[in-house]
Every structure is written in structure tokens, then in C-alpha cells.
Amino acid sequence: MILVEEKNGVAWVTLNRPEVRNALSRDLNLQLQEIGASFADRIEVRAVVLTGAGDKAFSAGADLKERKGVTAAESATYISAIWGAINEWADIQQPTICLMNGSAYGGGLELAMACDFRIIAEGAEVGLTEVRLGIMPGAGGTQRLPRLIGEARAKELIMLGRRVSAARAVEIGLVHEMVPRAQLRATADRWIADIMATAPISIATAKSAIERGYGRPMTEALEIESECYQRTLFTADRDEGLAAFAEGRSPRFQGR
């Protein structure tokens, strides 16, 4: 259901159910959660890329066929699986890139929003379509989308279940970059090269400061920033960064 390949410090994770547009079944979600958790403290993994098989969709969201016939009471296990998977991905300490090979709807877009960076193929579409299906976004969508694009635009997308083009998604700040499909991989490699130029502890603690501080009162948020900053202070990589600057060379970070 999911393919994982690790190469040169990058984990490439591919949702592999193209025949159902990479819909998120309960079993797929359980596997996705396990994979998300597996990167914890693996300092040699510098970046995680999540993509989908096929050229139609990154993910069409919750597996609607699987949900059909499931009672409201039984649906709890399905909902907790998707919720668990998406939140586990938001918690990955390494930088995460969602390489959106096609459209993303519902839980598929919620999963993309749990990643740090989103690159999308030209011609794709995105939307939180749940209200048109008699439900509502339930795996972080109502909270992550307003944080990403502001409340007004988020209400438009969520409350109307509107699907928007990849170009519009970039325009409103939901997606970082749109490229022709053939350039997806090269674009990801460019983002990865930028990640590789950073110190592993620095990029992880900066991510954590943003994630934990965002939306909190400023004094509390600044305390979180300060706590995260402290973690970079006594690292060998800090010394290496300063030495490399003084010597006019590129730093060689080791993640310690």
C-alpha cells in the first residue's frame, strides 16, 4: 500500500493505490502512521518526501467505499486511524515535503497540509470537499487551513467545499510551488539540496518552535523559541557553522 525508499539521507514515501486515486483506507492509515513514527531520532534521515503513485491524484482522501456501510459507531476506528496518521506526520522532526503528483481532496489535502512544504503538479486541483459529503474535515483541516491561508479564505474552501486549481492554491499560499509534472522530481531535489545545506538540529528545532509557538500568546511563544534555541547552543554543528563562516568555506554539519 505504501512504498518506502531511503537514499542519500532522504526517505521517499509513496502512497501506492493508484487504482482508487490513493484513497486513505484504514489499513493504509495505520501503515502511514507507523512509517511517520519510524523517523524519530534517525539523524541520518535529513528529509522525508511524501508522494502518490500515478498521475491522477496525490490522494482522493478517505476511502469512501470502505466507509460506506460502516455505522456511525463503527466509524470511530476509521476516523482515529486517519487522524493518527496525519497527526503523526505533522510531528515528524525532519523537514517534510509533500510532492503532489496530482489532486488532493479531503483527507488527502489534510495530509499534505501536515507536511512542511508542498509542491504540486500543474493541472491538479485541491479541496476540502467533506461538507458536500455530509461530513466535515476531521483530520486537522479546519485548524491547519486557517493557519496556512487565513480564516476568510479557509472558510470559503471548507464551508463551501470548493475545489481550486493548483495555480490558485499557490496564489493563496496553500501550496509553495507549482511545476509541470515532468519537473516534479527535479523540483523536489532542489528543495532537498536547500535542506541539506542546513544543520539537522537547527532545522528541526526551528520547525518545532514554529509548530509549538504558532497561535500562542507572544510571551509564551517566545519562551518556546528560547527553549528551542538553547538546544542549538551547545552543539558541535554550531561551532562548525561559526568556524566555516570564519574560514570562508561551506560547513560540514553532523547533526550533533
Q: Which residues are catalytic?
A: 110, 130
Enumerate residues 139-158 that contact ligand COA by CB under 6 A. Answer: none
Q: Which stretch binds ligand COA (CB under 6 A): 2-10, 71-79, 128-136, 196-204?
A: 128-136
Distances (CA, A) of 104 to 23, 53, 64, 129: 10, 13, 14, 10
Q: Which of 3, 5, 65, 220 binds ligand COA (CB under 6 A)?
A: 65
Q: Which of 28, 50, 60, 188 binds ligand COA (CB under 6 A)?
A: 60
3-class state of residue 26 by DSSP: helix
The residues with which 7 forms a beta bridge, in sequence order, are 10
CA torsion sign for 191, 176, 84, 102 is negative
Q: Which is nearer to ligand COA, 158 or 203 (CB)?
A: 158
Listed residue (161, 177, 165) closest to 125, CA to CA: 165
Enumerate residues 85-114 that contact ligand COA by CB under 6 A. Answer: 103, 105-107
Q: Which stretch binds ligand COA (CB under 6 A): 54-62, 86-94, 148-156, 234-242?
A: 54-62
CB atoms within 10 A of CB 174: 22
Nearest distance from residue 213's CB to ligand COA, in Å?
30
Q: Which of 131, 133, 206, 224 binds ligand COA (CB under 6 A)?
A: 133
CB of 123 closer than 8 Å to CB of 178: no
Please report whether residue 40 would count as binding ligand COA according to CB under 6 A: no
Distances (CA, A) of 83 to 62, 71, 139, 224, 251: 11, 18, 5, 25, 39
Q: Which of 130, 139, 175, 251 binds ligand COA (CB under 6 A)?
A: 130
Here the cell at position 227 is 527553549
Residue type at 251 in one-letter notation: P
Q: Which residues bind ligand COA (CB under 6 A)?
A: 20-21, 23, 56-57, 60-65, 103, 105-107, 129-130, 133
